[in-house]
Homo-oligomer: A and B are copies of this chain.
């Protein structure tokens, strides 16, 4: 796995500038990279607020010096002892989306921030944003707990991932933020006592304003990937992560090449391109890493250790056995997780 530091650092700066211009805080989601050294590219650990999505990640970053960590996934009562340990060392945010979770919150013997997750159309987790009375009551009940320091609302418009292009991204963004505005109008709970955290990489990359939000919480923007390029969240020159895979078999007669690089490296996440699953895009190699995409050279099949690439026969004819192909994956977050942090930093 190759990480192009120059591109990643530029992506980090661009997002910081977006947040500053929109007058919102930026809480990068560190689930994308899960790496302490890469985390330091975002700024000094003690002063950088972050989001994560597991206790294991929270513990890793806590140990390395981060002091404001939001667990942006609904809490699990079975992890109470971990929450307590974290809350005693740093500013911990927990996410809830049901009244039952308050028992766990109350049991944490340390101050915590509590974010109520809302669903504005993605359909994964969160209270439906139209359940005004229930959300209102939940906020009041949470506020009554003596260890709750800050209350917030948390949204993730993950449905932006099915958008293609700025207009479609803007439509998801507007739908989600106008639902939020409508909710805030109707809540009896005071807006100024709520911290509102929104964000996903497509909207945070392409939109310029986040009305109603106090902070944005994108993650994938540090590396981007084939999926983000297809969505229109980035262009190819911003993609900062790729896999270098040796060619182990060539079949010009069927227009295919096989690399040693499989599901355990790429994950089986894919993008549908012309109705076909594509797991990665082969890039032109360059002296400092990789350049533009190699036309018509895509990763179209994966088994555990094998990756099958469709490529024109005339290109295959020039490939030597063992030659290394640089491939941008469909989904950087899963590749980074699979790599267990073993990557080569370039540039």
Contacts and interface: CB of A to CB of B under 8 A. Distances in A.
A76 B258 contact: no
A260 B76 contact: yes
Nearest to A338: B338
Contact of A304 (B31, B263, B340): B31
A148 B108 CA distance: 65
A264 interface: yes
Contact of A76 (B53, B79, B322): B322
A207 to B, nearest CB: 21
Nearest to A32: B304
Copy total for this chain = 2
Contact of A73 (B98, B100, B248): B248
Contact of A249 (B74, B246, B267, B333): B74
A131 to B, nearest CB: 10
Nearest to A98: B321
Contact of A322 (B77, B126, B250, B320): B77
Interface in A292-315: 301, 303-306, 308
A76 B254 CA distance: 21
A209 interface: no
A123 interface: yes
Contacts of A31: 304-305
A8 interface: no
A214 interface: no
Contact of A123 (B248, B254, B322): B254
A321 B248 contact: no
Interface in A114-158: 123-126, 158
A33 B171 CA distance: 45
A267 B260 contact: no
Contact of A258 (B124, B254, B263, B324): B124
Given A249-B97, A321-B98, A322-B78, A73 B334 contact: no
A75 interface: yes
A221 B124 CA distance: 34
B74 A258 contact: yes
A248 B304 CA distance: 30
B97 A334 contact: no
Contacts of A304: 31, 53, 333-334, 337
Contacts of A106: none
7 contacts: A73-B305, A77-B246, A124-B306, A125-B249, A264-B338, A267-B268, A304-B333
Interface of A: 31, 53-54, 73-79, 97-98, 100-101, 104, 123-126, 158, 246, 248-250, 254, 258, 260, 263-264, 267-269, 301, 303-306, 308, 320-322, 324, 333-334, 337-338, 340
Given A74-B249, A263-B269, A264-B338, 8 more contacts: A76-B246, A76-B322, A78-B324, A98-B250, A98-B321, A124-B301, A125-B248, A304-B334
